Amino acid sequence: MKNGNLSQNGEVCIEVSGLWKVFGSDAKEIINSEKRTASKESLLEETGCVLAVRDVSFQVNRGELFVIMGLSGSGKSTLIRCILRLIEPTAGKVLIDGEDICGYKSKRLIELRRHTTGMIFQYFGLFPHRSVLDNVAYGLKVRGVAREERYARAREVIAKVGLKEWESYPPSALSGGMQQRVGIARALATDPEILLMDEPFSGLDPLIRRQMQDELLNIQAEVQKTILFVTHDLDEALKLGNRIAIMRDGGIIQIGTPEEVITTPSDAYVREFVQDASPAKVLTAGNIMEQPNILLYEWQGPKAALHILGTTGLDNAFLVARTGKLLGLVTLKRLVELVQKGGSSLGEALEPDPLTCTPDMLLEDLFPLAASTEYPIPVVDDEGKFVGEVYTSTVLGSMIREKTEEAEAEAAKVEAGEVAAEETKTDV
């Protein structure tokens, strides 16, 4: 689910190569001279030009949700604007569906923006003189869609973002979070193939934010859009992204899947960035599962099974059908009982109500399962086939580590607070 569609269709939808944006009068000369390697600060000091995007290259596959993450001022908004040429790049290429849009005449560019792309802005950019309904219908209006039709569609999307009662109000009557949702609805109304989203969920409260994130994942699962998503929130990036690009001072310093970014940060900056991400929110059963030493197969007899368990010194093993389908867990205790009874089928030695999990299940969600059993948890795919096992000790161990880290952090905070409190006391 999460990263599944990344590799299955490798068709490139957006390709950015060698993209530069320098704000200032002699931008072109700067990037063609040796100054191009200078740091952002020294460039600003020497030439008065602001380096916003530095030699950025990446590809986004069709149907992928690609996250661009970075601190404030790292050039995320500038980059995403360059992709639609809302800002002209100083150098470099942007290819959409294989066509270099930097070579587009303004007519073609307008067509592209009308029919292929949709954008959500960090600062909303709503039309203050139009009602919510007209704002949302705007993209369809410029396309030339008839009034009734575009209002019908706009109403549909407005209902989706939960602003039904507000359609006739001007944006100024709405709160920031509601305005952001109008911006989201406006971009969704045209049903574009490519969505560019600049911190779309930043202004929303946690509850609605989670709803919108889930809604986005739903849309993504239903109608594979290609999405470029800017955020500075790591948890959001990890939750949504098929891949994540991390930007610093205009350049991309790492591109990778959420797991890669968390587990193998490319440098100290990224490590610092991701250090407070909780692995439980990223790592899945598939990441931590192991292959068992032995498996029992349904055609084996109980005695043979007992022998196998005896030689390996284990007290349980999973029973698998001919097709690879998981049948359940056989424990040593039950097996011995079965042999004493003289039973012939291993199926009679199964533990009742076996637990299972899927490879994309988050560690976070495994905690309750792990706590309720003393045996390993089998991992099965969509068809019920056995693919690996997860040791409860691994799961619980990571939870304990997380809890103690949190507790330590809390303790450190409390301590700092006490110190501060004492200091203020002594000040008085």
List contacts with other proteins (CB under 8 A).
Answer: 81, 84, 86, 110-115, 117-119, 121, 123-131, 133-134, 138-139, 141-143, 167-170, 172, 186, 190
Taking the complex as a whole, how short is the minimal distance between the CB of residue 361 and ligand ATP, in angstroms?
Answer: 32
First to last CA, the chain: 58
The residue range among 31-39, 74-82, 274-282, 375-383 that interacts with ligand ATP, by the rule CB under 6 A, is: 74-82
Query: In degrees rounded to 5, what are phi and psi of residue 248?
Result: -145, 130
Please report how the helices 206-222 and 176-189 are oriented relative to each other, as an axis angle in degrees rounded to 10.
Answer: 10
Sequence-ordered list of residues with C-beta below 8 angstroms from that of 264, at least 6 positions apart, any chain: 256
The contact mask relative to ligand ATP for 265-304 (x = CB under 6 A, - = no) is: ----------------------------------------
Nearer to ligand ATP, 235 or 402 (CB): 235
Taking the complex as a whole, how short is the minimal distance between the CB of residue 81 and other proteins, in angstroms?
Answer: 8
74 interacts with ligand ATP by CB under 6 A: yes
From ligand ATP, other proteins, Mg ion, none, interface partner of 225 (C-beta below 5 to 8 A by class): none
Q: Rounded distance, CA 68 to CA 122, Å?
A: 14
Nearer to other proteins, 126 or 282 (CB): 126
77 interacts with Mg ion by CB under 5 A: yes
Sequence-ordered list of residues with C-beta below 8 angstroms from that of 69, at least 6 positions apart, any chain: 76, 230, 231, 232, 234, 237, 244, 245, 246, 247, 273
Taking the complex as a whole, how short is the minimal distance between the CB of residue 103 and ligand ATP, in angstroms?
Answer: 24
From Mg ion, other proteins, ligand ATP, none, interface partner of 181 (C-beta below 5 to 8 A by class): none
The residue range among 74-82, 135-143, 206-214, 318-326 that interacts with Mg ion, by the rule CB under 5 A, is: 74-82
Sequence-ordered list of residues with C-beta below 8 angstroms from that of 175, at least 6 positions apart, any chain: none
Q: Describe the strand order of the beta sheet including 316-320 as a list of residue ranges.
A: 295-297, 316-320, 326-331
Taking the complex as a whole, how short is the minimal distance between the CB of residue 174 and other proteins, in angstroms?
Answer: 12
From other proteins, ligand ATP, Mg ion, none, interface partner of 226 (C-beta below 5 to 8 A by class): none
Candidate residues 27, 64, 65, 78; the one interacting with ligand ATP per rule CB under 6 A: 78
70 interacts with ligand ATP by CB under 6 A: yes
Taking the complex as a whole, how short is the minimal distance between the CB of residue 43 and ligand ATP, in angstroms?
Answer: 11
Closest to 213 in 3D by CA, of 193, 238, 183: 238
From other proteins, ligand ATP, Mg ion, none, interface partner of 142 (C-beta below 5 to 8 A by class): other proteins
Report 108-167 residues binding Mg ion (CB under 5 A). 122
Q: Rounded distance, CA 201 to CA 206, Å?
A: 9
Q: Rounded distance, CA 350 to CA 348, Å?
A: 6
Burial of residue 226 (number of CB atoms within 10 Å: 0-12, 13-18, 19+): buried
Q: Rounded distance, CA 46 to CA 70, Å?
A: 25
Nearer to other proteins, 144 or 342 (CB): 144
Taking the complex as a whole, how short is the minimal distance between the CB of residue 129 and other proteins, in angstroms?
Answer: 5
17 interacts with Mg ion by CB under 5 A: no
The residue range among 66-74, 267-275, 277-285, 363-371 that interacts with ligand ATP, by the rule CB under 6 A, is: 66-74
Q: Rounded distance, CA 184 to CA 136, Å?
A: 9
From ligand ATP, Mg ion, other proteins, none, interface partner of 321 (C-beta below 5 to 8 A by class): none
Q: Describe the strand order of the beta sheet including 91-96 as a list of residue ranges.
A: 50-61, 12-23, 91-96, 99-100
CB 139 within 8 A of CB 186: yes
The contact mask relative to ligand ATP for 25-64 (x = CB under 6 A, - = no) is: -------------------------x-x------------
Taking the complex as a whole, how short is the minimal distance between the CB of residue 282 and ligand ATP, in angstroms?
Answer: 22
Taking the complex as a whole, how short is the minimal distance between the CB of residue 106 and other proteins, in angstroms?
Answer: 8
Taking the complex as a whole, how short is the minimal distance between the CB of residue 151 and ligand ATP, in angstroms?
Answer: 33
In DSSP notation, 115-160 reads HTEEEE-TT----TTS-HHHHHHHHHHHHT--HHHHHHHHHHHHHH
Q: Rounded distance, CA 236 to CA 19, Å?
A: 26
**What is the torsion angle, in degrees rounded to the nearest 10, for the CA atoms of residue 130, residue 175, residue 241 and residue 409?**
160
